[in-house]
Amino acid sequence: MKKKIMRTVSITVMSLIALATQNAQATVYSVDLNGTLGNSGGGYVTNLSSSYDDSNNTLSFSSTVTEKNNRLANGFWLVLNGGGSPGDAANPKGRVNEIAIFYGDYFSNRLTAYVYNGQNNPSSFLHGTFIQSFTTEFTSTYTNDLGLNNDGVSTFDFNIDLGIINDPTGKPASWRGVRFTDAVGIWYHPFFADNGAITYNQNGSINSFSTRYSGWFDTSGTPTTRVPEPGGLGLLFMGLAGLVLYRRKAKI
């Protein structure tokens, strides 16, 4: 009877370790860039960070822009390219119907996703396919007294589920959505738009889009940092601890 119990415990522990090993393969890939980044036409981009969780299929993004010469962004468009194959996380420009483009708008507190048309401009909303619009998942701040101190600051943050974006209805044959692993190509343009210059249709898609000025921050093959999922590691440690306990009891 004792041997049967121990055998059952052993099988349970080994199953837990196997499950933990599988879960531990789930990874969050993160990039965190600081300094004076890119062209400052829309203000200085002083921080840009993003994380992709390949298990939960989620994307987070955060950016801070500071005023320069009385210019400060209150919106942006963004494309992230994880590459179609290892080592192919190039600058997203020219990737037609493969990846998504995001538009962030401070005045409407809205994030809008489209199929990126590959062009070096924000025209995807005209020629690309609308995918999804987010409001509660997007937050932005804009603080600018319009003085001469150049002390204004804008922030943009979102954390979204990529379920629809990575598998939209009627997706192009070459569609990859938004995914990245060991490297990512970034195409980020902070812009300033007057209140009311960007309008929306009832379904959340963009109806009209006009900006006064914009800056840019582009990268190709920017390395990311791997962060294993803590849940999988916890299961692994539990399994190992159970195995040690089982072996000790077996010797008694």
Enclosing H/E stretch for 35: strand 27-37
Q: What is the pLDDT of residue 20?
A: 47
Residues 6+ apart with CB under 8 A from 48: 31, 32, 33, 37, 62, 63, 186, 188, 217
pLDDT tens per residue, the chain (252 residues)? 544 444 544 544 444 444 444 445 679 999 999 999 999 999 999 999 999 999 999 999 999 999 998 899 999 999 999 976 655 899 999 999 999 999 999 999 999 999 999 999 999 999 889 999 999 999 999 998 766 677 899 999 999 999 999 999 989 999 999 999 999 999 999 999 999 999 999 999 999 999 999 999 999 999 999 987 665 545 444 544 554 444 555 555
Instruction: Verify that 184 and 77 share a domain, yes or no.
Output: yes
Instruction: Verify that 65 and 144 share a domain, yes or no.
Output: yes
76: exposed, middle or buried (C-beta count within 10 Å: 0-12, 13-18, 19+)?
Answer: buried
Strands (E) located in 43-129:
44-53, 58-66, 75-81, 100-105, 110-115
Instruction: Verify that 2 and 59 share a domain, yes or no.
Output: no
Instruction: Verify that 148 and 197 share a domain, yes or no.
Output: yes
Instruction: Verify that 197 and 92 share a domain, yes or no.
Output: yes
Instruction: Verify that 39 and 98 share a domain, yes or no.
Output: yes
Instruction: Verify that 13 and 130 share a domain, yes or no.
Output: no
Q: Are 198 and 77 in contact (CB under 8 A)?
A: no
| Distance of alpha carbon 25 from alpha carbon 22, whole angstroms | 6
Q: What is the pLDDT of residue 107?
A: 97
Instruction: Verify that 97 and 116 share a domain, yes or no.
Output: yes
Instruction: Verify that 187 and 242 share a domain, yes or no.
Output: no
Q: Which domain holds residue 9?
A: 1-25+230-252
Instruction: Please give the tally of structural domains in the chain.
Output: 2
Instruction: Verify that 186 and 117 share a domain, yes or no.
Output: yes
Instruction: Verify that 58 and 105 share a domain, yes or no.
Output: yes
| Distance of alpha carbon 133 from alpha carbon 117, whole angstroms | 18
DSSP annotation string for 181-218: SSEEEEEEEEEE--TTSSEE-TTS-EEE---SEE-BEE
Q: What is the pLDDT of residue 144?
A: 87
Instruction: Verify that 95 and 138 share a domain, yes or no.
Output: yes
